[in-house]
Amino acid sequence: MTHHQNLPKISLEELRGEIKKEYTNVALDPTKGYHFHTGRRLANLLGYDEALYADLPEANIASFAGTGNPFSVGTVNAGETVVDVGSGAGFDSLIASRLVGSSGKSSAWT
């Protein structure tokens, strides 16, 4: 096993802060270019049905930087309550709000 003696020392709190800053940057400037996939390409890689997001605002789609597809594990029905924890730009929250309709509730937490 190789040990890297020159790695920077960073606390868990600092690391979380830096990650949060990077995701904020994606939301604010999705065209900048990042070392990870974003936007439509990422949604496709994660297996999102394009019909779920095709008519969302383009800026919201471009800012998508999620880590999974919550809609792949089950159906969201009208009238249900959905909570999006770590919602970022709100991509999943916007999809969920359309699926639950006016009789349901969709909440986003960043």
Residue spans per domain, the chain: 12-109
pLDDT at 89: 83
pLDDT in tens, 40-80: 999 999 999 999 999 999 999 999 999 999 999 999 999 99
pLDDT in tens, 83-100: 998 888 899 999 999 999
Give the dihedral of Cα atoms 67, 73, 78, 81; nearest 10 deg: -60
Q: Which of 81, 52, 74, 80 has its CA nearest to residue 64?
A: 52
Buried b or exposed e, range 45-75, using 16+ CB within 10 angstroms: ebebeeebbeebeeebbbbbbbeebebeeee
CB 38 within 8 A of CB 30: yes
CB 54 within 8 A of CB 77: no
User: Distance between CA 18 and CA 9 in Å, rounded?
Assistant: 13
pLDDT at 4: 64
Predicted TM-score of the model (pTM): 0.80
